[in-house]
Amino acid sequence: MRGNINSGPLTVCAAVDENLHSPHRRLIELRIEHADLDGLIDACMPGQPDRELALRRLKKRRLALRDQIARLENQLEPPEPA
């Protein structure tokens, strides 16, 4: 007879799945996306009318990401009391 039933492959898969969806991993993904947007925004040539709308959308998305990052950081590491 085998030992603990919870030490099988399904438990390992559940642990891996949990790590893939952890708040810390999400924070890393948001930071990477924010950095990618920074690069795109810096690469855009301002003053080109056909790209102004796209540039505004990128900046708006970057701000939304920054807000998500800040909220997640506060959830993971609440500020210390004064």
68: enclosing H helix or E strand: helix 49-76
pLDDT per residue of the chain (82 residues) written in tens, 0 to 9 = 454 555 566 665 666 566 777 999 999 999 999 999 999 998 887 677 778 888 899 999 999 999 999 999 999 887 677 6
The domain limits of the chain are 13-75
Question: What's the half-sphere exposure (Cβ side, CA atoms, 13 Å) at 19?
Answer: 6
Whether 16 contacts 25, CB under 8 Å? no
Taking the C-alpha atoms of residue 62 and residue 68, their distance in angstroms, rounded to an integer, is 10
pLDDT at 1: 47
Prediction pTM value: 0.68
Q: Which two tokens stand for residue 20?
A: 């893939």
pLDDT at 81: 77
